[in-house]
Each structure stands twice: as C-alpha cells, then as structure tokens.
Structure 1
C-alpha cells in the first residue's frame, strides 16, 4: 500500500513521486507573467514606445562610447536571443508535463525574479536613476548565479530542457557578468570618479580582467558549459571591437579584452574535455 504524505510546500507525494498542486500552477503563471513583463520592459528600453533608448537615457552614460569598458552597440543584439529563450522557458515550464518537475520547482521562482529585476533595471535607467541600476543589476547577478547553480544540481532529462532551460540561464548569466562591469564603470564615470590618480586604461584593464576571471571561474564550476562562455565572450569581444575601432580608443583595453576571451574559451574547452573523459574512465573502472 502506497504511503501518502504532504511536504512542507503544500505538495503531495505518493510512493516517492510528487503530485502537482495549486502551488505549481501559481509558479507557472508567475514565470509566464514575468516573461511578458520582461518583454514589455525591453520594448520600452528599445525606445520603440516613444521613450529614450537605454543607451541614450541617463545622459548617455550607458552608450558604447561612454566608458572604456562599454561594449559596442552590436553587443546588445544578444538580448534578442536571451528574451527568446526566456519566452521559450515560460512556455516550456507551463506545459502540464513540466508542472510537477522538481527541477522547475527549484528554478521557476528564481527565473521569474530575474525577469522582473531586468525590467526594473530598464525602468531605473529610463527614469535617470542610474545609481539605482547598480544594486538592481548586482541582485540580478546573484539571482542568476543561484538559478545557474540549481540547474547544475538538477540535470535536465532531455535535450529540449537542456537547450531551453540551461542554455537560456547560461546565456543570461554570462551576459549579465559583462553588463555588471560596464554598469559599474558607467555609474562611476557619471559620478565624476577620477580613479584616485590611476590612469583610466589601468582601471579598464583591471575591470576586463575581473570579467575574464569570472568567466574562467564559471567554466571551472560548470565543467565547461558552453552557454555562459558564449555570452560572456560575446560581451568581451564587443568591448574589444569598441575600443579598437571606436571612441574612446584604447588599444591596451581592446587587447586585454581579446586575451580575456581567449583565456575563457581555452579553460572552457579544457574543462569540457575533462568532464567528458571522467565519466568514460569511471565506466572503464566499473567494467574492470
């Protein structure tokens, strides 16, 4: 006879399998609504609704030529892919087959929070509250790290889930790592920070190095996941493009960004090779 008990989240488990509940439906709706709000926020941030574009708001503090670590304008095309992934995730997790999946129970609320924070970030910049954008994007980064960690702890059961869920969260996280560096630099420059006498290029190289080290740490942590490296490398590459082909020009910063991209990619490839070989060696030992 199967035993029926109720978990502390108000869900029922029967014979070790967890049944769907109203709490699950609430989570699914929250994710879907958050995705819609995020898309509306991006529409506003693009200037299509008649307001200022994010790049032009706050006195142009976030424009491609505002600081030495500002990515070139083409970098922001990645948002189209991220938003598409978020909408795909909202639909995927809303399917009845995913309602009682423990993976989405652990991820859903964090993904929803990230989308609301993203919309809040856009609104803060549009309202010329540039100083407020920094704590918002830092919290967004923390939320994405938590979501990413949970995706690692609860592996996907299908290629579709891996692509939609892990791919989207990974791309989102990698880009926000670069965006956080650019955002902090923009706020400091707008506030008149003089660098304590240290040359601007030195600060720029240091910030690019921080982004690169974060990318390396992610590659080691996630054993060579491709998505975070793609978006982080994309952002760093566009910093290189902006500094080598646009104003303010800085060959040193551009070269540093290229070196950071190469380092992150090499570590990602190395960790991927190690991750592939390790299960194979474990299997050989088991068979032996």
Structure 2
C-alpha cells in the first residue's frame, strides 16, 4: 500500500525532533555556563590542571579566540527558534539534520563536563564524535540549498561556524591530552608536530570548501581559530615563530581558497540557462 502523505505532511516525529532540539539547546547553554564558571564550575582554561590553557601547547589558541562560542551559542538559540516556525516543522532540511544538531549540542555539554571532571582522554573521544556529527550535518545541509538568505544565515551560518571552530578545537584538545600524558613526539620536535597538524587542517579546510562550494562560515571559523593560534605563539611560554607563521599562512590559504571556490560556484550558477 502506497502512502498518500506529502513530504510536507507533519508527523509525530517532527514534534519530537523539535522538542529534542530545544531540550538539547537548554542543556548546551547550561553546560556552557558551567564551562565559564557561572554555576561554580572551573573555567575551561583552568580546568584539567590548565591543560587547555592558552600557553599549554603550541596548538592552543590565545584566550580571545574562545569568544566565538558566544556567537555559536546565540546562533544555536536562533536555530532552535527557527526550527519551531510552522514552515520548518516538516521541512526536508530539518528532517535531514535536526536530530544530529540536537546530538551535537548534547555532545558539546558532555565535552565541557568531561573537561570539568579532568577526563582529558574522554574529552578527546567526545570532541571527535562531535566533529564527525557536525561533518555529517555539513554534508546534509550543503546538499539542500537554503530557501532564503535568512535561513542561510541562521542555519547554514551557525552550523558552519560550529563546524569550523570544532575543526580547530579538536587539534588543541588532542595536543593537550598528549602533552598531559607525557607524549614525547617520538623524538621529533614539538614545532614539527605542530606544523604537520596545521598542514592537515589546511587540507581539511580546503576540502570542506570544495565539498560545500565555498561555505564562508566554515572558513571564517577555521581562519579565526588559526589566527589566534598564530597570535598565541608570538609570545608567552610557548612562543614559536615557526608555528605562528604556519598558522597564519594556513588561515589565509583556507579563507582565500574558500572565497575563490565560492566565486567560481556562483559564476557557474549564473551561467546556467534559466527555463521558463
């Protein structure tokens, strides 16, 4: 028997998805407040023995970099409100990644709590799963164009910043865990490891740009994180000109490559003949 439901027919699962996103957002915001010490928790930079402090490793961004979380959290709140709009309840886009966005916010809170508990190894596992979830979300929303500029800003923009920043944060998190565990780099210098990781970030950033046809939000967040790594290595206990220059160059490469891919993609769309 064939179903007569249209793609826009709402179902009970749509309501459950909306509720799940809303509850996850609340948990995420509360977790973030714990992470900055509002509810008595230790600020992330000071938790876990300072393993994630701005001078803990060569890949740790300067403290100002973390202000991007305020933008991401505001975006997630806006996204949560957006997905409650009548037109979004049965939206194919929301059905494609709404549950995953909810999962990402729960993982975000779990990461903060793991850091608060001093479980660095567990935090690495959590942030890797978070990165994987956000990557799937990226692939899904990239394959379904936003219906308006407002949707592009609230949904694509927020999720792009989220993915871009986590792409940088995962490097700092792994470096912190390895440092705390006494990893000696197999005899290679820390700067060589840092440069190697930054080159991997370059490949990932350009790859995301190609896959997403030049998603600017993703590149902006990655560029932001890398720029503050560059700034952080210009002084302090972990000063490193090599790491600083490499981070700055990689940031520029990713941003410029993304812009070039975006321009080329838009020109291709303009060249497509329009049918009546």
Normalised-by-shorter TM-score class: over 0.9
Instruction: Output aligned runs, 1:99-248, within 5 Å.
Output: 99-248=89-238
Choose 1 or 2 for highest CA Rg.
Answer: 1
Specify the alignment match of 2:273 in structure 1: 283
Q: CA RMSD in A?
A: 1.5
1:37 aligns with 2:27: yes
Question: What is the Cα deviation at residue 223 of structure 1?
Answer: 1.2
Pair 1:90-2:85 in alignment: no
Which residue in 2 is equivalent to 1:9?
none
User: TM-score normalized by structure 2?
Assistant: 0.97
- Matching residue of 2:240: 250
Distance 1:119 1:146 in 2: 19
Q: String of CA shifts for 1:60-91, please: whole Å, max 9, x gaps.
A: 00000000010000000000000000010011
- Give how far 1:236 is off: 0.1
Number of residues paired by the alignment?
Answer: 276
Task: Verify the 8 A CA contact 2:42 2:116 in the aligned structure 1.
Answer: yes
Deviation at 1:269, TM superposition (A): 1.4
Task: Note if contact 2:44-2:116 (Cα within 8 Å) is conserved in structure 1.
Answer: yes
Structure 1, residues 21-42: CA drift from partner, whole Å, max 9, x if none?
Answer: 1110010000011001000000
Deviation, 1:120, is 0.2
Check the 8 A contact 1:29/1:94 in 2, yes or no.
no
1:70 is matched with 60
Q: Which whole-Å CA distance do the structure 1 matches of 2:269 and 2:87 have between them?
A: 30
* Structure 1: gaps (5+ residues): 7-11
The superposition leaves residues 103-139 of structure 1 with CA deviations (integer Å, 9 ceiling, x where unpaired) of 1011100100000000000000001111100110000
For 2:97 and 2:134, how far apart are their aligned partners in 1? Answer: 10
- Structure 2 residue runs of 5 or longer lacking an equivalent are none
Tell me the TM-score normalised to structure 1 length.
0.93
